[in-house]
Amino acid sequence: MIPILAELYLWTKALHIVSVIAWMAGLFYLPRLFVYHTEAARRGDSRDEIFQVMERRLLRAIMSPAMVATWLFGLALVLTPGIVDWSSVWPWTKAAGVLGMTWFHQWLGLRRKELAAGTCTVSGRTFRIMNEVPTLLLIVIVFSVVLKF
C-alpha cells in the first residue's frame, strides 16, 4: 500500500488541503453562530429553532465529514514514504495543533447539544474568545509545515 501512496501523493495532498479548508471554515463560523444564538435567541422562539438547524447542519454536513477527511488524508500523507522526518520538531507541533483542533471541534459539538437542550451556560463573550482558538492553532500548524523547524 505504501508504494501507491507515493504515486498518489499530489492527489492526497490536494484533498488534504481542501478538507482542511472546509473544516477550518466551520471552526471559524460555528462559534460565531453560537454568539448570535446566545445573544439574540430565547429558548423555543423562532430564532432559536433557526440557529439550531443552522448549527446542526454545519456540524454534521460540513465540519464532521471535513474533519474525518482531513484526518484520513493527513494520515495517508504521514504514511507516504519520505514525507515526514520524525526526528524534526515540526511533525510533533503539527500533530499537537491537529489534536487541539479536534478537541475544539468536540467542544463545539458539546456546546451545540447544550444550546439545543437549553442548558448552555457559556456566554456570548466566551464564545467570542473561543473563536480565536482555531486561528492560533492554524498559525502553529501552518508555520510548522511550511518552515519545518
pTM: 0.92
* Positions of the chain with pLDDT lower than 50, given as ranges: none
pLDDT at 43: 86
pLDDT at 42: 84
pLDDT at 3: 80
For residue range 115-133, list pLDDT tens digits in order: 999 999 999 999 999 999 9
Give the domain range for residue 72.
Answer: 2-147
Non-local (6+) Cβ contacts of 63 within 8 A are 22, 23, 26, 27, 30, 105, 108
pLDDT at 44: 79
pLDDT at 1: 54
d(CA 63, CA 57): 9
Number of domains in the chain: 1
